[in-house]
Chain A
Amino acid sequence: MHLANYLGYLHQSEQNLAAGFRKVGEGHAAEVDVFHTGNTLAGQCEAHVEALEPFVGRYGEEKPTEPDRLYHEFFDGTREGGLGLIRDLHDLYLMANACDIAWTMIGQAAQGLGDRELLDVVNSCERQTATQVKWLKTRMKQAAPQALIVAS
């Protein structure tokens, strides 16, 4: 059974995403909505990590041994300015989408296994992840014209 592989992947990805939301929020603290909403969403990701723990215990967790090209680990610093903001949000968007599809995969496995408890966690967390993706898209769409056309 390879569920442990996906659990390990998601467990790590949610941690990375939480750290990413906080880092981008701090790096762009003058965009106060990015700062506050970033922190709120980081809190959601951290709650997801916690919610996954019992299942990591139940099914195990395989840490990937090779560098995974789907692992969107966040780079160290944040970028600057309007363009920097959308590029940073773009990174978070990819990371959040990776989490989103991982939730879907784990949800499929939970159905196959008849694990209602896991399925409940997947359902509630997946919805939040989907909203995170939507928020990132909303914010990026808003910022893009200004950043790409007129920002210095």
Chain B
Amino acid sequence: MTDRIANPWGERTPFGRDEEWPLRVDRFLDEGVNEEDVDAWVQTASILHSNGDAMDIAVKDGRIVGVRGRGVDRVNKGRLGPKDLFGWQANNSEDRLKKPLVRKNGELVEAGWDEAMGRIVDRSKELLEEKGPLAFGFYTTGQLFLEEYYTLGVIGKAGLGTPHMDGNTRLCTATAGQALKETFGSDGQPGSYADIDHADAIMLFGHNMAETQAVTWMRVLDRLEGPNPPELVVVDPRPTPVAQRATVHLPIKTGTNVALLNAFLHEIFQNGWYDEEYVDAHTMGFEELESTVADCTPEWAAEVCGVEAERIREAARILGTAERLLSTALQGVYQSHQATAAACQINNIHLLRGMLGKPGCGVLQFNGQPTAQNTRETGANGDLPAFRNWDNKEHVQELADLWNVDLMKIPHWAPPTHAMQIWRYAEQGSIEFLWISCTNPAVSLPELRRIRSILDQEDLFVVVQDIFLTETAQLADVVLPAATWGEKTGTYTNTDRTVHLSEAGVEPPGETKHDLDIFLEYARLMDFRDKDGEPLIKWEHPEEAFEAWKECTRGRPCDYTGLTYEKLRGGSGVQWPCNEEHPDGTERLYGDADFNTRTADCETYGHDLLAGAVNSEADHRAIGPEGRAFLKAAPYTPPHEEPGEEYPFRLNTGRTIYHFHTRTKTARAPQLQNAAPEAWVEVSPTDAESLGVSEGDTVRVESSRGRLEAKARVSGIRDGVVFAPFHYGYFDQKGGDAPDGHARAANELTITEWDPVSKQPLFKSGAVRVTKMADADGSPAPAPTNTASRPAGNVQVPETAGGAGAEVTETMEGGG
């Protein structure tokens, strides 16, 4: 038994290069429940991060009583992360929403479904009549299932006809998708998790994999403990568990990613570490890239990034000479200045080195949320379904034919509206109806004071569909109680294109409804019809929705036509494209170096990386990529808000392994909540000294947008950078939906700004000041001690542990 709060990654199962990753099945059951007591094991996958860990839910007497990893699955070979092991307990929480709520005389009161849906439909019809579809916005999540996203996408695009559909995934995965489109012509993860088994060098750029995808980090750890381990290049301003294991760790200043990457590229050009034949045959833009980075010497980048030139040179040597290089990236890239530009430079390293589509040679532009990939695929996030190009009339016509609606019904005159613009239209009053499903923008969006005031606007009709009364739900006009994971059936896809089936094991509580049924009910009441007067949505059940989705993907890069629920049942998840040609799925894309850049096929005609200007079809045709990938160049530009006299520190916000998103579920799992019960702020020892701050002192952090107060953790973070976790809001505080005397949400501080290409908000940006408010009261900061927030030096802080309640059974291959 292992205490998986004290040791989140569990026991090691070392393996060598090109060997099979050994099995280790993790199992956790409620106190007093033994394996033989379990009535049924029900197949599913993790819904609390993007890794896609396959697992079975243990059901006893109609309740979830535990989980175990699925040894048969390619993603995790039986392992589970702490959030998988303990997070399910939230399902059984007493305070689940069980009845719809409607606002009456300013208060949310319980109502029947007819009344709640009646209000939504009445307002919809009224607005549609008065203002038309552009008054409607839909803000979704990274936790719905594929079938639900697709259904909502058809309702919005072909039922109402609004371009204003995006969601929380804009905050986590937009840059990953955009960078893949810019470089390779369409979305689609090139690599596979199995590349970890074969790589001799791995670059983790702005990616604290140990805490965000714990199981995939276990795979890396097992390689590191085995024979011929890979070298690791790690870029992160914090001393993350990943950085602790690095061959070279570069704790650069936030906002300087492109400078560092351009120096890497400079070294690759200088030393001739590129594959000339590959570059000639399969890429475009070599000369411009070479000239863009010509002056980006390690010495220059050292000055910009604040790390030693020798270390940059050493990292570049590893990247430039590895025989099998795997690169991964996450929010340190995607939520930072020049997000898409930086992510494209990572792709460029692989194109220059010809390292794509072969075992150990891959790029994994990671996702943040569990089902973020499906929003990208289905078009719930500001794209058209199945990686179609909004600017390509034929692509739009395909959708019109599939849905049997007029082409003009489907908005395609401009890119679908991105999330931050949807909120801006709501702020300006031109969007008057906002349907928020299963996400919590009142804690997760930047500049919370502004977001709360938008949600408070008299003329904005807000619908919230969720499982708890979140901060956002408290500000809604109508709240719809939804069923969640374990209570409904559907599919979702992880970062490396693995599709999993998740089955219902238990009944949803009270009067809650399945998300799919809520959307279908809305479509029925709104009486959306196709061209022939038939109902627009022609399915009623998840499996029918999946079959409809398959047709939508036929012949597209994310081809699902070879998948069925039956095929996904029992065995491992399967990676798309899965079709007649690839009946067992496809492990890696682009092994043939034939990219989706033909003008007729591509998902985008491309953007310039500085301003985000859109290329036209004519521009794209003139370039004539014809299956070659784009080496897109970008010079470094400084961040827009730099530290100065008034606000001398750079702000960095992020996450801890023990929580997901705004803690809606994880705060309700005691092991996870106790491991990281309260917000904290990290400062470096040098900064702490100059501020007169010690471990556990209360500090105030302020930006020009807001402030928070929390206990300080003196950690090994880079000097000049202040870190605050973004998970903590107010639902379990006095204020409920907003601070009442004690502001603690990191997004009180963050700046409203986004990447010009991916439109992803920049949460790792902006300047703040720190002031000591009070001495420690005898207890340390409530930050975990075994993660990136580990205390620096020899300060005595009790180790994070879960005790008996967090003991997990880990069964090794051969019963070990």
Contact = CB atoms under 8 A, between A and B. Distances in A.
| A interacts with B | yes
Interface of A: 30-33, 36-37, 39-41, 81-82, 131-132, 134-135, 137-138, 141-142, 144-146, 149-152
Nearest 9 interchain pairs by C-beta: A134-B613, A135-B613, A135-B611, A138-B614, A142-B414, A150-B134, A150-B430, A151-B430, A141-B414
Given A134-B613, A146-B134, 14 more contacts: A32-B753, A32-B754, A37-B611, A40-B610, A81-B428, A131-B613, A134-B615, A135-B611, A142-B415, A146-B430, A150-B132, A150-B134, A151-B428, A151-B430
Contacts of A37: 611-612, 756
A138 B613 contact: yes
Given A134-B614, A135-B611, A150-B131, A36 B753 contact: yes
A33 B430 contact: no
A151 B428 CA distance: 8
Given A30-B424, A33-B754, A138 B612 contact: yes
B733 interface: no
A149 B134 contact: yes
Contacts of B428: 81-82, 151
A141 B756 contact: no
Contacts of B415: 142
A40 B640 CA distance: 9
Secondary structure of the B side of the interface? Answer: loop
A132 B421 CA distance: 21
Interface in B611-629: 611-615
A30 to B, nearest CB: 7
A146 B612 CA distance: 20
Contacts of A33: 612, 754, 756
Contacts of B135: 150
B425 interface: yes
A146 B753 CA distance: 21
A39 B638 CA distance: 12
B433 to A, nearest CB: 11
B611 A32 contact: no
Most buried by B among A33, A36, A135, A141: A33
Given A145-B414, A151-B428, A40 B134 contact: no
Contacts of B131: 150
Contacts, number: 70
Nearest to A147: B430
Contacts of A149: 132, 134
B807 interface: no
Nearest to B754: A33
Secondary structure of the A side of the interface? Answer: helix
Nearest to B752: A32
A81 B429 CA distance: 11
Contacts of B754: 32-33
Nearest to B415: A142
Given A131-B608, A150-B430, A40 B637 contact: yes
Most buried by A among B134, B135, B163: B134
23 contacts: A32-B420, A33-B754, A37-B612, A37-B756, A39-B640, A40-B637, A41-B611, A82-B430, A131-B608, A131-B613, A132-B613, A134-B608, A134-B615, A135-B612, A135-B613, A144-B414, A145-B134, A145-B413, A146-B425, A150-B131, A150-B132, A150-B430, A151-B429
Nearest to B619: A134
Interface in B391-420: 411, 413-415, 417, 420
Contacts of A36: 640, 753, 756
A131 B612 CA distance: 9
Contacts of B420: 32
Nearest to A133: B613
B409 to A, nearest CB: 14
A124 to B, nearest CB: 10
Nearest to B418: A142
A82 B427 CA distance: 12
A141 B413 contact: yes
A88 to B, nearest CB: 15
A131 B610 contact: yes
Contacts of A82: 428, 430
B431 to A, nearest CB: 8
Contacts of B427: 30
Interface in B124-149: 131-132, 134-135
Interface in B582-626: 608, 610-615
A135 B414 CA distance: 13
A123 B612 CA distance: 21
Contacts of B612: 33, 37, 135, 138
A131 B611 CA distance: 8
A81 B427 CA distance: 12
Contact of B611 (A30, A132, A151): A132
Nearest to A41: B611
B776 to A, nearest CB: 38
Contacts of B429: 151-152
Nearest to B761: A32
A134 B605 CA distance: 13
B424 A31 contact: yes
A38 to B, nearest CB: 10
Contacts of A39: 640
